[in-house]
Structure 1
Amino acid sequence: MKSALLVIDVQQALFDETPRPFEADAVVERINTLTAKARAAGVPVIFIQHEASDLEYSSAGWQLQPGLQVKDRDVKVRKTTPDSFLRTELEALLASWHTEHLVICGYASQFCIDTTTRRAAALGYPVTLVSDAHTTHDQPHATGQQIRAHENATLPNLDSFGPEIKAVATSELRFAS
């Protein structure tokens, strides 16, 4: 099954300001492990960057988090909503590569990760959510750790879309070459 790796919103303004997301540095390290595995298997790596009035295109905060290992052949996609497919070229890119499966990681677990995972499944893509490679900030109702655990438990139980959504740790993930 042809896969693509989506790295969502790991941007300076979201990762480098205090307070930082849950396990921010560890998540970046895990994402680097994932991108290295993907590239070694010939799997496309797509960095998705959010834009908003407080996260302007090309600003310092909009840039990818400096700890990420980004290569020239990686693709970057700009978005303006939590849905990485809405009003972006993502779906066309995936179709041009004949992608059949998505691996998703990044920020923010309860917003862009959740929304993109659901949309991908609705579009017919089986999804592997990398259970320890997505994060978020603490919220008034729950910690970042609790939110990540909630998403890891909830998304794999959505079967009404059809395609399987599963949560797998970085160490267990294998890309077929």
Structure 2
Amino acid sequence: MTTLPGRPNTALLVIDVQNGVVEGCHDRDGVIANIATLAARARTEGAPVIWVQHSDDQLKKGGESWQYVPELVRHDTEPLVHKLYADSFEATELEELLAGLGVGRLVVTGAQTDVCIRSTLHGGFVRGYDVTLVADAHTTEDLTAYGAPGPALVIAHTNLYWAEQDAPGRRGDTVVTAEVSFAPADTA
């Protein structure tokens, strides 16, 4: 039900699953395994898998902490979007890439829940996309020392509030890995 006409396709976004981002994150291994499952399913179903990679002062481009985790392997044909801001759309070619692929629905996975995941969810939604958050395929680190809730609560809250997002002509939802569909929207 995207507001983007002629864009029935669904894409999987794999956001910032980099060594320095997910090291020490809540349920790191389980989240990465779910993302690997989703990437394999998207490939089988012919849906684009788009990789997003952040760089900043702590994640120097080319460094070990900047690299994607070894458990996830990007195929050479799969786009890689480099970003400098939390929202994967901000000052990147992501929108042009999705338009070229006819994508109007995003399936979002990765890290970190309370920064880049939330920013990208909202960034896609306000740009007219239907945006699905995969409840068991995103994670964050423990920031309780700074007054934040524990990571399990941050993840649970994000899953809860995203589950029923809606606006004219588009919607957000939350599903678990086993329930993700990459089928194109009905264009009839």
Which residue does 1:65 correspond to in 2? 69
| Pair 1:75 & 2:79 matched | yes
Question: What is the alpha-carbon distance in structure 2 between the residues aligned to residue 138 and residue 160 of structure 1?
Answer: 32
Q: Secondary structure at the match of 2:149?
A: coil
Aligned positions of 1:114-125 closer than 5 A: 114-125=118-129
Which residue does 1:174 correspond to in 2? 181
Question: What is the alpha-carbon distance in structure 1 between the residues aligned to residue 149 and residue 64 of structure 2?
Answer: 29
1:5-52 CA-partner distances (Å, limit 9, x unpaired): 100000011123xxx101000000000000001001111111101110
Which residue does 1:128 correspond to in 2? 132
Question: What is the alpha-carbon distance in structure 1 between the residues aligned to residue 170 and residue 163 of structure 2?
Answer: 10
Gap regions ≥5 residues in structure 2: 1-7
Q: Secondary structure at the match of 1:100?
A: strand
Retained in 2: the 8 A contact 1:121–1:161? no
Which residue does 1:95 correspond to in 2? 99
Q: Displacement, 1:156?
A: 2.8
Question: What is the alpha-carbon distance in structure 2 between the residues aligned to residue 105 and residue 50 of structure 1?
Answer: 14
Question: What is the alpha-carbon distance in structure 1 between the residues aligned to residue 73 and residue 33 of structure 2?
Answer: 9
TM-score, length-scaled by structure 2: 0.88
| Pair 1:143 & 2:147 matched | no
Which residue of the other structure, out of 3, 11, 14, is the alignment partner of 2:10? 3
* Aligned CA-pair RMSD: 1.3
Q: Secondary structure at the match of 1:57?
A: coil
Structure 1: which amino acid aligns with 2:54? H
Question: What is the alpha-carbon distance in structure 2 between the residues aligned to residue 75 and residue 151 of structure 1?
Answer: 27
Question: What is the alpha-carbon distance in structure 1 between the residues aligned to residue 164 and residue 37 of structure 2?
Answer: 26
Gap regions ≥5 residues in structure 1: none
Which residue does 2:3 correspond to in 1? none
Q: Secondary structure at the match of 1:175?
A: coil
Question: What is the alpha-carbon distance in structure 2 between the residues aligned to residue 52 and residue 162 of structure 1?
Answer: 35
Q: Secondary structure at the match of 1:166?
A: strand
Retained in 1: the 8 A contact 2:87–2:119? yes
Which residue does 2:22 correspond to in 1? 15
Question: What is the alpha-carbon distance in structure 2 between the residues aligned to residue 135 and residue 120 of structure 1?
Answer: 19
Retained in 1: the 8 A contact 2:165–2:173? no
Question: What is the alpha-carbon distance in structure 2 between the residues aligned to residue 6 and residue 28 of structure 1?
Answer: 13
